[in-house]
Structure 1
Amino acid sequence: MAHPAQSIGPARGEPPAPDMGGGVVRAAVCALLVVALWAVTRPYEGYVHDAQLYLVQALHRLEPARYAADLFFAYGSQDGYSVSSALYAPLVAALGESRAHLVALVVGYALWLSGLWVLARTIFASGSAAAAAVLAVIALVPIYNPGALHYGESSVSPRLYVEATSFFAIAAICLGRNLAAGVLLVCAFALHPIMTLPTLALVAVLRFRLTVLLAVAAAGLGAVLALAFAGIDPFVRILQRMDAEWFGVVQVRTPAALVQNWILPACLLLVFPVVSCGLVALRGTPMQARLARAVLLLCPALVLTSWLAGEVLMNLLFLNLQLWRGLWLLTLAGNCLVPAAYALLPREGGSRGLFLAAVVVNLCEARFGIAVMPFASAGFALASACTLAATGGGRWFHSAARIGGSAFAAVATLLFLGEVAAVALQPRLLTVLDVLQRVALVLAGGALLVLAARRGRQIGVVLPVLALGVAVWAGLLADQRTNRMAFLTGAAPVDPAFVAATEGKTVYWEGGLEFLWFRLRQPSYFSCYQAAGSMFFRGTAIEHARRAAVLRRLNTSDFALEPDAFCPQRADPLFEGPARGAQLADVCRALPELDVLVLRADLPDVPHLRWQPGFDVPASGMPVPPKDARPVYVPGKPRGFYNLYRCADLR
């Protein structure tokens, strides 16, 4: 560990990181290419996923009485531990939901990419290596929690801003600018304490000796205990345990928050970044090696602590802290250090070629949409490591390592061919073409970026023209909103009859959480996303489970076909929606507080209102089609309706 009085910047004799050079044109070309790569890999989809939660928190801050009864807020909200909605709410009030989301997203992207460039230029001496690092971070698999979370998200959340701030803070501590790093971390902590804690730990590991770290950790634990005994939330949670009923709901509804549910697939997911960091930790420059060693030691320790203190001891505070989120730093560092790892491998022996294959395959897997489990790139990375290991050791070790490398390479090749076949067999030709052009754009844009950033190279005319072409092509792919999301983020009105029928009522809208929250500005009775607070608030977990147990009888799209999915399973997994009015009556009687049901199913035996919103509403009220059935797309006017049923007509 570095002595407190030392900087961990470039060692004496190590060349400083010079300015990229090349003038305004070169900088503009590089910036244009980075933006184009970002647009290709993270197209705009509207406010999806967690962006919905943070947007409704801003609306709740503006109109608390309107959303107070919503299940997401009724028993408490994480919003109380962050200033993010206090900053977001004025923007929403001034611009409206859609424009505010877009502005916040663009600002977040600008900060994120700026922070990434500053970090890359801090740990790489040359502009071309830094550009390659930026390319790797943008283009390679960013997922650090199987099927749940990844860095550099394409929607607005405090995580985007905390990651950006973390880049600046890590760069500052690497350059010995301790005060700047501290101020940045305080700002990040105010936005998202849970995401900031791993970065805070990493900065401490980079800055202090082990003895100082242990002293600071002991002092911090003592402060937390003192606040806990004083009854101050959330610190008081360190004295509490999650009971079995609550934990059972969390285990089913928010499985990604528990290490025990994903640790084995995560081990495979992290193979590539671990190999990359491992190579740099052994052979990199002092700064690069220190960063690689820090994340390799810290991140597993955070995961182990999260599992042991949270899931084994059932301590409520450690369950809530989710220290395993520090894996984003390992994934980010592994991808960022790819250029250094590649340069450190010998030209002879095949390890460099296998590592390059791992990089290219990982890039492709990120575009395939199956990157949650990048099997092939993990195999090539292990093959590279084995091949490198074969250059040392005795005869038997050499032979075993060579055989292992060949075996991993063969298996990885077969796996990659299988992944390519899975994409090629997609039912829609447009899906295949979209994947192909995105892979081509990333490869072309990345090559141009590295060329443009190379020192001493004349920028010329051809390269800017090619960069502009890549940017225009990427721009055509940047807006990936569905027709439904375009409606939600647009100004087209909701049917006035629906508005009147739902005003002041308790409403369950099948798959329509966004309609209620953002278009009608009213609470929702039930959706899967409203279970997001189950990990933090017992009332949310238990009440969400109670409502789900009844509503699942309707077999709506909010409920899953499989028993171990994020949403509860349907009562009849073989059916899509209710088929008879008696099912609706049964649910309305079981939930006396429920007033209105808005469903996709059109039941002629029950009086109801119908509305065609201007986009296709999938059919319901029928058996689930076979998995191998191919949807038939017929051009023309939108199909399907939302159907509104009043429980008063059914009880």
Structure 2
Amino acid sequence: MILYVKPYTGIRHDSTLYLVQALHVLNPGIFGRDLFFLAGSQADFTIFPQLVAFLLKVVEPGPAFLAFSLFGRVAFYAASAYLIVGVFPARWRWPAVFALIIMPTGYGAFSIFSYAEPFFTARPISEALSLLALGLLVRNRIWASILVFALAGALHPLQGLAAVIVAWCWLVQGERRWLWSLCMIIPVTLLAWLNVGPLQGLFRSIDAEWREMIVGVSTQVYLGKWTPRDWCIVLTDIYLLSLLSVRGVAGGISARFAKATLWAVAVGLACSALLSDVLQLVLPTGLQLWRVLWVAHWLAVAAVPLLVWESWNDSRRGKIPALLLLSIALIGTSIPHSTLPWAVLGLIPLHLAWPYVAGKVGEGARKLLVVGVVAAMLIAAVRYELKALDVFAALDNNLELMRVDVVMLSYPLVLATLVVAAAICFRRANRFGQTLFAALSLIAVAGALTVWDSRSPWTHVQESATGVNVFGYDVPENASVFWYASEPSPLGPWLVLRRANYFSPFQLSGQMFNRDTPFIGRELENQIDPVVIQAGICDFVTRSDSRAEPCRVSKPGLESLCTAHGRLQPPDYFVLPFDQREHVRGRWAVRHPATGEVLLSQYLYKCTDWISGLKETNSKGRG
């Protein structure tokens, strides 16, 4: 099920950043001039780029990222199972694992972040190690836990630190003497005062102009910028954890772990609000302590089967609280731009008040309430499915661009229904039926493995073209390249050409760590804006009407791109999906990897070819 509902779609999102960090380790002379590294980068705080660089010495990026994405996924769920065994009662371990697979994985703001990401970054591996460390901790293997936490932090400090906060709250619950560990603040403060390494950012403030630049691209780092929808998702997690924490003696380790996680959420959100939103300190803003929510969401999701079943079997309260709880979990979790999580603002108070008002509610009102709650869950499901079909239709119903089967079946209510039905059939079957079921499961695993690689044709071609001279032209190693794409991505220069990228919004991801990055980025963005705007219009016209005349970027636009307007130089080369009919240095006909059909053409141009005529005109005018 992990393979089927969570397919691999290639080097995308933040995996592009980890790719270039590794390429920078291998070729610092080429990539050192890239915006991502000009003012320093977040790669300075992790050993992950060195590990990936070692891997890329023997394996090309495409297959390497595919294989280790699968490794990260398996490691995450294996570590999850290890922690679940240590926290949950035996009866609820498998349901908890299935809940983690079925339920949405998003946390934080704007549906940007999720645990167990479906691409290769340091985060899933660091999360797996963090879960393993927490599993060791609840088994009272403290020193082994500390060592694993150290490794998790070395791979991705932000994810590791979030789990460490949970671990610290767990230890303090058990023995108050762990509060003495707060004395570590003293040497940290001293080192920050002495401006030692990144700790100097502990007392350094983000000025108003810098903050404005950060908000423009990385709004999620400030709690004050989160939307009500984001807070509804946080509220859902907190409520589910609260229910788990008050199970008393029957709750055992799971109740204690939920309490520790709740305290960790309070610490993380409070520190983020005070140190980042209010005091505007550099280091706390970069640490993003609100990321403790990834552990909170993980535990809340894993607890859903246990909480719903116990509520269903509570004869004193009836079935309605269980139904309300299920709707809270399904509607309140993070499914990007589809469900209505603010519905929990009504469902949670109703679930809280039900024990006190149940005796006053008549049978007719109860039936009406049940119908309303079921309708809300079904409406959310239908709304999600219709949106999926709309997106699929916009992509010309092309399964190579969107696995609509995966998108539609992976909705939690749909997938949970299928899993529960399969479990019931298996338990009721005789020995032969169970054997047949097991055989069919193995066949299903093999089938899911064959379709797990769901990269689009363009992604396949792009990742297989690395190291190939696709344009038939040697771009110098010291060149920077601007590569226009309708969906901005730096993969063209980084992966295909193995050259520094001129500008992409991806390169601004570490702007809260280095003040110069966003300001340099703004100048570079202004340099390319005229071409990006015109190319975007051309893209729209071409997609809207296949019979339209070939579109091109205007010559003044290209001359503007290739002329320095400030202290920074223009790109040395640029790539467009348009034939400008002059100064073409190379053409790449991108073919479908299976059929050989030409998908699109990319054209390579050199900037000096476009400004030479302009220089001659200017010189004649001066004469």
TM-score tier after normalising by the smaller chain length: 0.7 to 0.9
Q: Where does residue 587 of structure 1 map in the other structure? A: 561
TM-score, structure 2 normalization: 0.83
Contact map agreement 2:217 2:508 (CA 8 A) in 1: yes
Paired residues of 1:162 and 1:196 also in contact (CA < 8 A): yes
Other-structure match for 2:383: 418
Determine whether 1:69 maps to 2:33. yes
Equivalent of 1:647 in 596, 607, 613: 607
Match of 1:352 in 2: 322
TM-score, normalisation: structure 1:
0.79
State the Cα deviation string for residues 514-545 of structure 1 (Å, max 9, x = none).
13212322211111111112111111111011
| In 1: Cα distance, 2:63 partner to 2:76 partner | 20
SS at match of 1:508: strand
Q: 1:129 aligns with which of 89, 92, 95?
A: 92
Question: What corresponds to 2:543 in structure 1?
Answer: none
Asked if the contact 1:382–1:405 (Cα under 8 Å) also holds between the matched residues in 2, the reply is no
Give the conservation status (yes or no) of the 8 Å contact 2:242–2:258: yes
Give the structure 1 partner of residue 619 of structure 2.
none
Measured after TM superposition, the shift of residue 342 of structure 1 is 1.4
TM superposition shift of 1:612: 3.6
Does structure 1 retain, via aligned residues, the 8 Å contact 2:245–2:254? yes
Instruction: Specify the alignment match of 2:273 in structure 1.
Output: 307
Q: Counterpart in 2 of 1:466?
A: 440
SS for the counterpart of 2:119 is coil
Deviations 1:421-449 (A, max 9, x none): 33344414455444345556775456557
C-alpha separation in 1, matches of 2:103 and 2:202: 37
Query: Cα 1:496–1:463, aligned 2, differ >3 Å: closer, same or farther?
Result: closer
Match of 1:519 among 484, 496, 519: 496
Contact 1:386–1:405 (CA<8 Å) still a contact in 2?
no
Task: Give 2:180's aligned residue.
Answer: 215
Q: Aligned residue for 1:6?
A: none
Query: Matches of 2:310 and 2:304 in 1, distance apart?
Result: 10
1:183 paired to 2:147? yes
**Correspondence 1:231-270 to 2 at 5 A:** 231-270=195-234
Post-superposition offset of 1:319: 0.7
- How big is each residue's C-alpha offset from its partner over 1:64-118, in whole Å with a ceiling of 9 and x where there is no partner? 2221111111110122211112222211112232233234323322321211111
Q: Comparing both structures, which one devotes a greater share of its residues to helix?
A: 2
Deviations 1:363-398 (CA, angstroms, capped at 9, x unpaired): xx98xxxx1256357647963772463123697799
Task: Name the SS for the 1:155 alignment partner.
Answer: coil
Query: Equivalent of 2:461, from 480, 487, 506?
Result: 487
Aligned twin of 1:600: 577
Residue 95 (structure 1) aligned with residue 59 (structure 2): yes
Answer yes or no: is 1:553 the counterpart of 2:501.
no
The alignment covers a number of residue pairs equal to: 573
Aligned in 2, Cα 1:388/1:51: closer, same or farther, shift over 3 Å? Answer: same
Change (3 A) 1:394 1:112: closer
**Is structure 2 residue 281 aligned with structure 1 residue 281?**
no
Q: 1:608 to 1:539 in 2, by over 3 A?
A: same
Give the whole-Å Cα distance in 1 for the aligned partners of 2:76 and 2:299.
Answer: 15
1:327 offset after TM fit, Å? 0.8
Q: Using the TM superposition, give the Cα deviation of residue 478 of structure 1 relative to its aligned residue in structure 2, in angstroms.
A: 0.9
CA contact (8 A) 1:392 1:398 kept: no
Question: What SS is found at the alignment partner of 2:197?
Answer: coil
- The one-letter code sitting in structure 1 at the alignment partner of 2:442 is L
Indicate how the Cα distance of structure 1 residues 86 and 477 shifts in structure 2: closer, same or farther if over 3 A, else same: same
Q: Is the 1:358–1:376 contact (alpha carbons within 8 Å) kept by the matching residues of 2?
A: no
Give me the whole-angstrom Cα distance separating, in 1, the residues matched to 2:169 and 2:601.
57
Report the more deviating stretch, 371-380 or 139-148. Answer: 371-380
User: Are residue 435 (structure 1) and residue 400 (structure 2) matched?
Assistant: no
Q: CA 1:609 to 1:445, structure 2 compared with 1: closer, same or farther past 3 Å?
A: farther
CA deviations on 1:14-56 (whole Å, 9 max, x unpaired) are xxxxxxxxxxxxxxxxxxxxxxx21123211121111111122
Within 2, Cα distance between the matches of 1:484 and 1:268? 37
SS of the residue corresponding to residue 555 of structure 1 reads helix
Mapped to 1, the partners of 2:346 and 2:449 lie a distance apart of 36
Superposed displacement of residue 495, structure 1: 4.7
Mapped contact 2:202–2:283 kept (Cα < 8 A): yes
Shift of 1:153: 0.6
- Letter in structure 2 aligned against 1:58: A
Q: Secondary structure at the match of 2:336?
A: coil
State the SS of the aligned residue for 1:179: helix
1:463 Cα deviation (Å)? Answer: 2.2
Amino acid at match of 2:320: G
Q: Deviations over 1:105-149 (max 9, x none)?
A: 2332232121111111112222x5211111111121110022211
Task: Indicate conservation of the 8 Å contact 2:272/2:289, yes or no.
Answer: yes
Would the aligned equivalents of 1:242 and 1:316 in 2 still touch at CA under 8 Å? Answer: yes
Deviations 1:548-576 (A, max 9, x none): 12211212599899xxxxxxxxxxxxxx9
* Residue range with higher mean Cα deviation, 381-390 or 260-269: 381-390
Counterpart amino acid of 2:384? E
Residue 208 of structure 1 aligns to a residue in which SS?
helix
Aligned-pair CA distance for 1:306:
0.9
Counterpart CA distance in 2 for 1:558 and 1:156 is 31
Q: Indicate how the Cα distance of structure 1 residues 354 and 638 shifts in structure 2: closer, same or farther if over 3 A, else same.
A: farther
Cα distance in 2 for partners of 1:193, 1:557 equals: 41
Give the conservation status (yes or no) of the 8 Å contact 1:379–1:412.
Answer: no
Q: CA deviation at 1:231?
A: 1.9
Q: Which residue of 2 aligns with 1:507?
A: 481
Determine if the alignment matches structure 1 residue 611 to structure 2 residue 581.
no
* Higher alpha-carbon deviation: 335-344 or 514-523: 514-523
Residue matched to 1:8: none
Indicate the RMSD between aligned Cα atoms, in angstroms: 3.5
Percent of aligned positions with the same letter in both sequences? Answer: 23
Which amino acid letter does the alignment assign opposite residue 139 of structure 1?
I
Unaligned runs of 5+ in 1: 1-36, 562-575, 617-634
Unaligned stretches of 5+ in structure 2? Answer: 539-549, 612-623
Instruction: Single out whichever of 287-296 and 275-284 deviates more from structure 2.
Output: 275-284
Alignment of 1:81-230 (within 5 A): 81-126=45-90, 128-145=91-108, 146-209=110-173, 212=177, 214-217=179-182, 219-230=183-194
Distance in 1 (CA, whole Å) between partners of 2:48 and 2:158 is: 13
